[in-house]
């Protein structure tokens, strides 16, 4: 189950997992986008179906996960990836920003992941094994003069992941985070809203020959969800072209 899979990194993970033979639930608050991703997977010969989910709402989370488990007959793994990125430009600095921006960021980007984890874990435990991968961000560790709520939420997500890894590792569950650096998603490119000067700035700040692509992140998530990733637990994987080295 990929949560927040209607576009960007989540859509790429859903495609990658399906290409590797998984049956995938493509879940998103934007059901039309999720349906379009699921249809493109089916057109490429994979198996996928869409579900509506709003990770800010506990009932919606539980209903979506129950529907996915029912359709799939169980659950092997979840990529919990959704974030509310609409308010990120209002996440300016601690003195300037509206408290509502802080609240909304934490409500979706960390509390939402808490709710998703509570919903998917019983299904994973029932099979005696399973993996959760969260999408964090290099912002959790970078130290930034802007986006304080986003960084706090992603740091919280890293802590939430370590709790899950340590509490349920002995019961066959692994939990890890992937922490992307700037990834130029197809939707960002199509929207044309990221100025060229900003793209040049990102590229100039890292020892790499190109910007990050959604597939760079999807490949790592798929590995963490695969049998080959079984002994990786409690880690934050930075995938950022070397922009942040730890
Ligand atoms: N693109 C980057 O540069 C970058 C860098 C670091 C981390 N990230 C993280 O990667 C993840 C994906 O980002 P992206 O760049 O692909 O963005 P995106 O906007 O393309 O994808 C986010 C998806 O989450 C969905 N979503 C938003 N709110 C939701 C909610 N309440 N319930 C369910 N779904 C919801 C959106 O509809 C969207 O499909 C996010 O967690 C983001 O913080 C992205």
Domain borders along the chain are 2-183+215-239
Q: Class for domain 2-183+215-239, per CATH?
A: alpha beta
**Low-confidence spans in the chain with pLDDT less than 50:** none
> Ligand 1 pocket: which of 82, 140, 221 to mutate (most atoms <8 Å of CB)?
82
Q: Which residues contact 148 (CB under 8 A, 6 or more apart)?
A: 91, 93, 94, 97, 102
What pLDDT score was predicted for residue 80? Answer: 98
Q: How far is the CA of 94 from the centre of ligand 1 (A)?
A: 22
Q: Is 30 helix (H, G, I), strand (E, B) or coil?
A: coil
Q: Which pair of tokens denotes residue 213?
A: 């692509």
What pLDDT score was predicted for residue 193? Answer: 87
Task: Determine whether the shortest distance from the Cβ of 241 to ligand 1 is under 6 A.
Answer: no
């Amino acid at each position: 189950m990929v949560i927040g899979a209607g576009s960007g990194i989540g859509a790429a993970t859903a495609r990658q997992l399906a290409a590797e033979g998984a049956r995938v639930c493509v879940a998103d608050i934007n059901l039309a986008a999720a349906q379009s991703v699921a249809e493109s997977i089916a057109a490429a010969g994979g198996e996928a179906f869409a579900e509506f989910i709003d990770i800010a709402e506990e009932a919606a989370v539980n209903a979506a996960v129950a529907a996915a488990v029912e359709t799939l007959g169980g659950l092997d793994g979840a990529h919990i990836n959704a974030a509310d990125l609409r308010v990120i430009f209002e996440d300016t600095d601690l003195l300037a920003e509206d408290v509502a921006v802080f609240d909304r960021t934490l409500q979706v980007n960390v509390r939402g992941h808490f709710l998703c984890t509570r919903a998917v874990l019983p299904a994973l435990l029932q099979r005696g094994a399973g993996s959760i991968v969260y999408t964090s961000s290099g912002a959790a560790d970078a130290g930034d003069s802007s986006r304080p709520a986003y960084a706090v939420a992603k740091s919280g997500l890293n802590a939430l992941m370590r709790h899950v890894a340590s509490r349920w590792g002995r019961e066959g569950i692994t939990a890890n985070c992937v922490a992307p650096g700037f990834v130029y998603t197809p939707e960002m490119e199509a929207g044309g809203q990221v100025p060229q000067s900003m793209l040049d700035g990102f590229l100039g700040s890292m020892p790499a020959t190109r910007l990050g692509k959604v597939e760079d992140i999807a490949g790592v998530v798929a590995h963490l969800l695969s049998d080959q990733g079984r002994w990786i637990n409690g880690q934050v994987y930075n995938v950022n072209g070397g922009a942040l080295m730890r």
